[in-house]
Structure 1
Amino acid sequence: MSRQPTTPRRGAANGLRDWRDALVAVVAGFAAMLAVAAAGLWAAGAADLPGGAFPRVVAAVVVLAAGGEVALTGDAGFLARSQAELSVMPLSVSLVGALVAGTAFLRPLRHRAVAGTREVLGRFARLAVLWLAALAGLTAAARTTFRIPLDGDSLLTGIGEFLDIAPRVGFRAETGPSLLYGLLWLIGVAALALLASRRAALPPRLAGVRETVGPAAYAMVWLLLAYVVVGLVAGIVDAATQGHPRRTFAVVLLGLPNLAWPALTLGMGATWEGRVEGPFGLPVPQVLDTMLRGEDRTTLNVATLAEQDARAWWLVVVAAVLVPAAAFLMAARSPARTRPREHALRMGAALALTMLVVCLTGRIAAHYGLSLLGVGDLAGLDGEVSLQPRLWAAVGIGLGWGILAGLLGALTATSGRRRAR
């Protein structure tokens, strides 16, 4: 009696194990993002929102953090009109989700020499299917509307009460764009995790790519995380010495990289432009909020910030220390045969790309206006918040800094290797 082959059973077992690994990564990633978003929103006072809206607001923040889109809504009946837009990414939540999901995705691929192309693609495909399914569930939950009572003695208030009209504002997650951008976000996280990790197995064809690109990817991840750590220390000191710790921790839990990573660009010489108008504001230090409130758009760079607070020059010092340190780390992880010129070009390209990503993800644009009978502002809700970089100038600055820092790091690493010999 012949024995039945066992390969199909082993293949089925491996397939179930791969699905389990993908499920663990998805659950861990979204659980971490939900926990951080809930804690940050609680610190910001969102737990007091009416109608049990807190869970829906948490879901909306996680959708934004995963690359999705959330649209603002508002109306006050057929006699009113509203205009609303929101473009912001809570990068603290995004960073936690990327770190947790990326680590869980790499875990089955560690401590191995190589992995087949089909295996790596299969693992990512399973991860993407489950990730998008979970994201679709969150987009379905991330929608609600608030009714805002009319207060005061203004003419518009009297008209609104006479017509029994009260403004409603709310939000809803856009399913199609959220799934598309969420997939792109996940692709970026998985690709960066594979390139930056030394221990994760890759197909043999990609081993040379990681040898070339991996040190630069690792150095950029290290640089961004270093700025987050510096910002975290500054936030803790601010909470301990300046008071209002709850507001400070809300900013830390929701948008710490939104402050720390633009600080990297400012320290290197980049320029941002912004404006704050109306009752809304940015979760930024008071000096910056004061600068942005005006009739015209405000130019933000180290010089203009230093006019308000001389401590802004420390941004240049921190950049002058951490950027060359990242370049040295990149050179130390690169093969010894790499030439200094190659280090410089790779560091320049990596830092320029990092500046591009920081500028694109750190932008803020929010506007809301609600008028009755086409006249004026209803209930004081009209406002605008914006913070935009001079994008291509920042990318060029990153390229120049990267080339100089890469050359310095390569020479320092080469000198160290010679002394070690």
Structure 2
Amino acid sequence: MLPTETAAGPGRAATVLGPWADALLATVVTLLAMAALATAGLWLAGADDLPGSALPAVVAATVLMAVGVPVQLTGGAAFLAEAHGDLSALPLSVTLLGALALARLFLRPLRLRAVATPGELAGRAARTAVLWLALLLLLRPLAQHSFTIRTGDPLADELGAAFDAAPTAGFRTGLLPTLGLGLLWLALVLLLTLVTARGAPLPPRLLRYRAAVRPAAHAVLTLLLCTVVLGLLAGLVSATVDGHPRRTLAVLLLALPNLAWLALGVGFGASWHGSAGGDLGLPVPHLLTDVLRTSDHRDVTLDLGTLAAQDGRAWLLAALVALLLLLTGLGAALHSPPDLPLWRYAAQLAAALALAMVLIGLLTRISAEVGLSLLGFDAAGGGLSLSPDLLRSVPLAAAWGGLAGLLGALAARPLRSRPTAPTSAAPESGRST
């Protein structure tokens, strides 16, 4: 009896500690991968030249921004000046890498299973959430810094030096946004993982919905990842010919999905509106700022027409996006049950692409404003804003998705009906000869 109890002890400990070890591995590797990519992108963007050795703090703030936490900008110079502003934007390259790493590592212990109980999935998600929030709380104190800034106005700089009140600026993140938005990001990543990943186990009661949801969801996810890969290739080509390789590579490492998914939406007719003014020092492509920058800082529309007015090659987006959507419809149809009516293929892909457009619109929002007032006068600052027109973009995405789903189902029919020769045909043919 004693040996049995002794052997049961380590087994019980492994059962209890194993899921915690899996969750710890998933969260730590995810955070390290995000921090490494953010460091490389910020270094290429020139953040290592910020005063006061601010790079580690900026990296920490960028990782928190990647999970949706806004950064508050504050500062001042005694009674002379006041710095103010906020920065709310997702560096989606960092966000996407973290989401892919977390999804892969969360599913790794379950990779050989098709079914998992709701309790097991909820338990693994809860352990991951606890450790993830703990890591974000450890990261948050690092995501604050302050340093002296130059206004760009010689008179303002001289007044600040004369009164020993040189303007300072800093950034910090709030506790509640870190916890709330960090948890929301984790929940969204895990939910999308279970919905889109073909090998993700599901509770038995949800297995009947798998064939109706996953083919279209996985096809749209593949579309989004393909646009990122195409954007990466285009960016690498641009980095070799535009004469600014560091700036281009910084954009790729920090905001590649922002631009790729923006181009995807613009390609099928979606639109955004926004404005740009001043100089924030953010790694934003010139084509985007040229469209958004106006003399009176009014909101302008960003769509295929306004992009083509700056660069005629933008019209190629429409043809490329149409081709990608047709391939998406074909992929969804080939992985769906073959006996569905045509309207089901269209409806499933329409719903998936419409939901994807909602996410794209929310994820590509930018709200950045920096201001410095000296003795009541604006001495320096800048702003950049970009918001989606979802009332126009979501119906367009649904229409395109329905058309792509219908055409993809029609194209899949002859591919499914091709006869497959039996393996015994060749030997039988040889004997008859």
TM-score (norm 1): 0.94
* Counterpart residue number, 2:392: 393
CA contact (8 A) 2:113 2:201 kept: yes
- One-letter amino acid matched to 1:176: L
1:131-150 equivalences under 5 Å are 131-149=132-150
* Counterpart residue number, 2:82: 81
* Counterpart residue number, 1:355: 357
1:61-210 equivalences under 5 Å are 61-149=62-150, 152-154=153-155, 156-210=156-210
CA contact (8 A) 2:304 2:315 kept: yes
Match of 1:364 among 359, 363, 366: 366
Question: Separation in 1 of the partners of 2:12 and 2:121?
Answer: 15
- 2:407 maps to 1:418: no
- One-letter amino acid matched to 1:123: R
Query: How far does residue 134 in structure 1 lie from its aligned partner after superposition?
Result: 0.6
Query: How far does residue 232 in structure 1 lie from its aligned partner after superposition?
Result: 0.3
Rate the CA distance shift 1:256–1:167 in 2: closer, same or farther, 3 A: same
SS in 2 for 1:52: coil
Total equivalences in the alignment? 417
1:241-320 equivalences under 5 Å are 241-280=241-280, 283-294=283-294, 295=296, 296-320=298-322
CA contact (8 A) 1:281 1:385 kept: no
CA contact (8 A) 1:71 1:86 kept: yes
For structure 1, which segment, 382-391 or 94-103, has the greater mean C-alpha deviation from structure 2 after superposition? 382-391
Question: Separation in 2 of the partners of 1:233 and 1:79?
Answer: 49
Question: Separation in 2 of the partners of 1:33 and 1:166?
Answer: 34
Question: Separation in 2 of the partners of 1:281 and 1:418?
Answer: 57
* Counterpart residue number, 1:217: 217
Structure 1: gaps of 5 or more residues: none
CA contact (8 A) 1:60 1:70 kept: yes
CA contact (8 A) 1:150 1:166 kept: no
- Could you say which structure has the larger radius of gyration? 2
What is the RMSD of the two structures over their aligned residues, measured on CA atoms? 1.9
CA contact (8 A) 1:347 1:406 kept: yes
For structure 1, which segment, 118-127 or 108-117, has the greater mean C-alpha deviation from structure 2 after superposition? 108-117
Rate the CA distance shift 1:118–1:151 in 2: closer, same or farther, 3 A: closer
CA contact (8 A) 1:367 1:383 kept: yes
Question: Separation in 1 of the partners of 2:274 and 2:67?
Answer: 25
- One-letter amino acid matched to 1:315: L
Rate the CA distance shift 1:57–1:281 in 2: closer, same or farther, 3 A: closer
For structure 1, which segment, 124-133 or 8-17, has the greater mean C-alpha deviation from structure 2 after superposition? 8-17
Query: How far does residue 313 in structure 1 lie from its aligned partner after superposition?
Result: 0.6
CA contact (8 A) 1:282 1:289 kept: no
SS in 2 for 1:102: helix
Question: Separation in 1 of the partners of 2:208 and 2:8?
Answer: 32
Question: Separation in 2 of the partners of 1:219 and 1:285?
Answer: 29
Structure 2: gaps of 5 or more residues: 421-433
SS in 2 for 1:85: strand
- One-letter amino acid matched to 1:243: G
CA contact (8 A) 1:88 1:363 kept: yes
Question: Separation in 1 of the partners of 2:218 and 2:400?
Answer: 17
* Counterpart residue number, 2:26: 25
Give aligned-pair identity as a percent.
49
TM-score (norm 2): 0.92
CA contact (8 A) 1:276 1:282 kept: no
Question: Separation in 2 of the partners of 1:281 and 1:53?
Answer: 15
CA contact (8 A) 2:70 2:86 kept: no
Query: How far does residue 9 in structure 1 lie from its aligned partner after superposition?
Result: 5.2
